[in-house]
Structure formats: C-alpha cells, structure tokens
Amino acid sequence: MATQGLATVMTVKLGSLGWSKSNYSSGGGAALRLLLLSPAQAQPSVHALRACSSSSCSRGAVAGRWSAAASSATSAPVDSSSGGVAGGGEMMVEWPAAPREQVEAIRSLNGWVAENMLPLLTPVDSAWQPHDYLPRSTAAAAAGGGEANDNDRAFAEELAELRAAAACVPDDVLVCLVGNMVTEEALPTYQSMFNRTDGVGDDTGASAVPWARWIRGWTAEENRHGDLLNRYLYLTGRVDMRQVEITIHHLLSNGMEMLMPKSPYHSLIYASFQERATFISHGHTARLAVKHGDRTLSKICGVVAADERRHEAAYTRASAELFDVDPDGMVRALAYVMLGKVTMPGLLMSDGLGGGGDSLFARFSAVAQRAGVYTASDYGDMVEHFVRRWRVADLGAGLSGEGRRAQEYVCGLAPKIRRMEELAHRRAARGEPGLARFSWIFNRAVVVG
C-alpha cells in the first residue's frame, strides 16, 4: 500500500475550492463532525438488516434508518491519564471504540470474507517471490567450485544488464520509485492500522477468524513489494541506499495518523482508495520504465501493480457489502473521508536533512505529479470510479437528511476536482518550473512544478 499524490491533491484541490465541513452542513464544521460521529442509538440488529438487504427489501430501505452506524468515534480522543478529552495539546492517548453497530456490521461479513476475499490471496506455493525478478545470486555448492563459478559469472552478467538498463531511467522516475518503495517498507504500520480497527483485528496474532486471516495474508503479499523494490534499487547502484534506509527508519518511527483509527467503515474506504492509487502509481511507473528501456523495472512494477489491483478489489467489494447493509452510515463515512485531510501512508517520511521549507513528502508528490506517476487527474478518476462502483448516486429513500447531504457532496466532488485541476495547470503554465533536491539520489536536483 504505497502512493504519494493523494494527500497533496486533497489539500490543494479541496482547500483551493474553499470546501470545508461548513460547506457540507448548515451547522458548520463542528456540527458536521458531531453528526457524523454521533453516539450509537438503539437500532435493529445488523443480522436483521443483512437479511433484509439481501431479500425483497429495497436497497437500504431499512438499513438506511440505521443512521447511528455512520458514527466512527467521538469527536476527540480520550486522554486516559486525566479522564477527560484531549483538547489542543499533543497528548492523544486513546480513541474510543467504534460504535457497536459498526463492529456488528463488519463482523457479520466474516462468512462473506471467507468466501469472497480469502480466495483473492494467491497460495504461497504459486505466488511470485522477489528473487524471481532479480539476478540470481545463489551459487551452487558444487565439488571443485566449477558450477559455483558459472553461477557467479551468470549473476555478474545479469547484474551488468540490470545496471545498464537502469542507467537510462531518469531521476524523476527514480525519485518516484524510491518514494513508493519507502512507503511500501512501512508495512508494519499498516498491519497495525488494521489490527486496531474494531471488528477486524487479529486479537491473538494467529486467529482463525476470516478477517484476521485476510489481514495476515494481505500483509504477507504486501511484504514482497518493499523487498523487491528495495533490492532492485540497491542493485542499480544509482541511489544512496543509506539515505533511503534512514528515510524508511524515520517513517516507521514517525508512524501514520488515521482520521478515525478504530472505525471499520473509514478503514475499508481508506484502504480501497489507497490500493487503487497504488495500482495506478505502479502501473504508470511500469509504462515509464518501458519508455526508457528498463524492461526489468517494468516487470517489477507490473507485478506489484497486479497485486494492488487484487487487494483493491477485495476492499472495494467489502465496502460495497457494507453499503448494502448500512448505506446511510457508509455514505456519511465516505463524505467524511473526502472532506477530511486524508493522511497518506508516506506523509511523515523524512530523510533527516530537511528540505528548505517543503517536506520530503511534498517534494516527492510534486515530482510524481510532473512525471505522470500519480496526478490530480488520477485522483479525479478515482473518485468517479468509487462513486460509480458503490452506486452512491442510486442510494434511495433509506438515507437520513445528513446522508442525503453526504450523497450530494460526494457525487458532485469529481467535477470540482476537474475544475481545480484545470486552474492548477493554467497557473503552472504561467510560472517557471522549480528544482528540488533529493538525498536519495545523492542530492541531485529534479524539476518540479
């Protein structure tokens, strides 16, 4: 799960439009937050709702009245050391648990997960491994060393071929590749994210519950991505691996902050967007690699993108199931994710050297935008995709008033992003491109803007 430009696009595009929570609700920003995060009320059982949504009931007609499940937490984390609410200080000790209705809804999908998500994981025996796409470094322990010497020569030849092709990859593409690899390497943070999500976490570390099995299987597949990209970059000889490793160390140490860290609704929506953005990013990198003559890098990015597409399918389908169970809760959660400042996995990356006022992530994102690895246009396409895939425009009479306002906002978001993208392109065309230096590539400068 690695991508770069989404946070920048969200901040610039929506921020430039002047959109805030007060635009979405007549009660102002605080009112929206409280409406979306209202405490759970006594409501029908999730199992009854699932039975209704899968039978003759219209889509969400009853489930739509289950509006309390839109809540994902209270509006601020609890400071357990003082017994109160953290209000402006830096100490945020503990977020409250997700509402019971959300937990019931996500747990009710366990059977569905076993039948529809777990089969999307590739069996280990038939799964690709990083070694499959890199020069074979293993030397056979043959008597006399003859076969070992042959293998050494073959490895040296394959390494020389890899380096010759990689030498043609421009620095901007290399920066995007490093940034994506760094984000992939922070996988322990992402597994922790899911394990603290109420209703899906692996409580024992080896739970047989389908959600827990999915999280472990997803983590195992994702783990190969950082391994493969890291080894490729090391073998190219074109990057300062110590600075790259320092960046990984910082990112793991800094962590990642979620909007609603314990809400299963928010977590699934977030994961759907992230996996699709990563699929797009790696796919664009694969095409750029071919353009510049590095077919090894193209294959590497292609196989990673294929994994991300399977993972996106899993989270998107699970979210669709929740839209059937609780359309009002999910559309409100979706609007909140779109309205909020989405924290990206690599947002807190740092090489420890500073960057003249811009964060490393901001510079990385600007390079990705200019290189075409991940752009504002990609984000607009993605919003349209999910609105269509989850049939948000078709949500019917079961929506609450707040749900209808959320629906209207989400369905109208993509055109606003398109307009802001056009304005940004016009501004960029009038300005002079800038330069950004990256310690990852020995402090060489890359064009941005």
N-term to C-term CA, the chain:
26
Q: Is position 307 annotated as part of the catalytic site?
A: yes
Single out the catalytic residue among 101, 104, 171, 184: 184
What are the angstrom distances between the C-alpha of 76 and each of 329, 344, 348?
19, 20, 21
Single out the catalytic residue among 278, 285, 296, 316: 278
Single out the catalytic residue among 172, 185, 221, 308: 308
In SS3 terms, 31-82 reads as HHHHHHCCCCCCCCCHHHHHHHHCCCCCCCCCHHHCHHHHCCCCCCCEECCC
d(CA 449, CA 435): 8
Single out the catalytic residue among 128, 249, 292, 385: 128
Q: Do the beta carbons of residue 267 and residue 194 sit within 8 Å?
A: yes
Q: Is position 128 annotated as part of the catalytic site?
A: yes
Structure tokens at 44: 């029908």
Single out the catalytic residue among 225, 266, 282, 284: 225
d(CA 387, CA 205): 35
Single out the catalytic residue among 275, 326, 351, 378: 275
Q: Which residue has the tokens 């400071």?
A: 79
Contacts of 210 (CB under 8 A, 6+ apart): 110, 111, 113, 114, 117, 118
Q: Is position 158 annotated as part of the catalytic site?
A: no
In this structure, how many other beta carbons lie within 10 angstroms of the beta carbon of residue 397?
11
Q: Is position 402 annotated as part of the catalytic site?
A: no
Q: Please state whether beta strands 78-79 and 84-85 pair in parallel, antiparallel, or not at all (unpaired).
A: antiparallel
Q: Is position 275 annotated as part of the catalytic site?
A: yes
d(CA 333, CA 102): 11
Question: Which residue(s) pair with 434 in the sheet?
Answer: 448
Q: Is position 101 annotated as part of the catalytic site?
A: no
Single out the catalytic residue among 171, 307, 324, 421: 307
Q: Is position 425 annotated as part of the catalytic site?
A: no
d(CA 336, CA 256): 18
Single out the catalytic residue among 171, 311, 321, 375: 311
Q: Is position 245 annotated as part of the catalytic site?
A: no
Single out the catalytic residue among 171, 222, 326, 402: 222
Q: Is position 225 annotated as part of the catalytic site?
A: yes
d(CA 136, CA 156): 9
Q: Do the beta carbons of residue 309 and residue 279 sit within 8 Å?
A: yes
Task: Give one word for 443, left, alpha or beta, with left for phi > 0 and alpha for psi -120 to 50.
Answer: left
Residues annotated as catalytic (active site), given as ranges = 128, 184, 222, 225, 275, 278, 307-308, 311
